[in-house]
Amino acid sequence: MAKPIALAADHGGFELKEAVKAHLDELGLAYVDYGTHSTASVDYPDMAVPACEAVVKGESDKALLFCGTGVGISMAANKIKGIRACCCSDSFSCEYTRRHNDANALCMGGRVVGPGLACQLVDIFLNTEFEGGRHQRRIDKLTALENR
Ligand code: RB5
């Protein structure tokens, strides 16, 4: 059975997370929702950590993260060893961050992208494979930077 997708959002991304959850439900894909569970104000680093740790621990293969812009939560996620998070609002970047960067966290802004585009980006992110090859060498250099 596929591992559940790790989800997290702050208040700025809460509604988009809920829309993406409905999409995942329609697709029959399992997820774990690490919050937040309302529009009450929270801090995006606090929300990013448990979802990203689930990925690092191997409990999930990928995380979908949301804040107002997608930027803050991507910054938080990229501080966590083993996470390669991208903030995307276009399909080209979303496809290539999987193909070339082996991104394991997709971050989107609830104040930037609508639910239709967000769900389309989720589909691309979940269904695009890493190409490996010369790109693996670059990922290895990212990992070396983390360990510096
Ligand atoms: C919260 O108001 C907002 O700053 C946050 O959701 C996010 O956009 C930060 O990058």
**Nearest atom in ligand 1 to 72's CA:** 10
Q: 63-67 and 31-33: which strand pairing?
A: unpaired
Compute the C-alpha angle 79/3/63, nearest 5°.
30
In which band, very low, low, confident or very high, does the pLDDT at 44 lie, cut at 50, 70 and 90? very high
User: Which of 44, 65, 108 for a ligand 1 pocket mutation test, highest count of atoms within 8 Å of Cβ?
Assistant: 44
**Residue 1 scores a pLDDT above 90:** no
Q: Are 32 and 7 in contact (CB under 8 A)?
A: yes
In which band, very low, low, confident or very high, does the pLDDT at 115 lie, cut at 50, 70 and 90? very high
In which band, very low, low, confident or very high, does the pLDDT at 52 lie, cut at 50, 70 and 90? very high
Residue 12 Cα, ligand 1 centroid: separation in angstroms? 6
Instruction: Kindly report, residue by residue over 24-33, the tens digit of the pLDDT.
Output: 999 999 999 9
Catalytic residues: 67, 100
Compute CA distances 36 → 16, 30, 58, 65, 105, whole Å.
11, 18, 22, 11, 17
**Nearest atom in ligand 1 to 10's CA:** 6
The two three-digit tokens of residue 107, written as one number = 């971050």
Supply φ then ψ for residue 87, to 5 degrees. -100, 115
Residue 38 Cα, ligand 1 centroid: separation in angstroms? 15
**Nearest atom in ligand 1 to 11's CA:** 6
User: Which of 69, 87, 112 for a ligand 1 pocket mutation test, highest count of atoms within 8 Å of Cβ?
Assistant: 69
Q: What is the three-class DSSP state of 32? A: strand
What is the per-residue pLDDT for 92? 98
**Residue 116 scores a pLDDT above 90:** yes
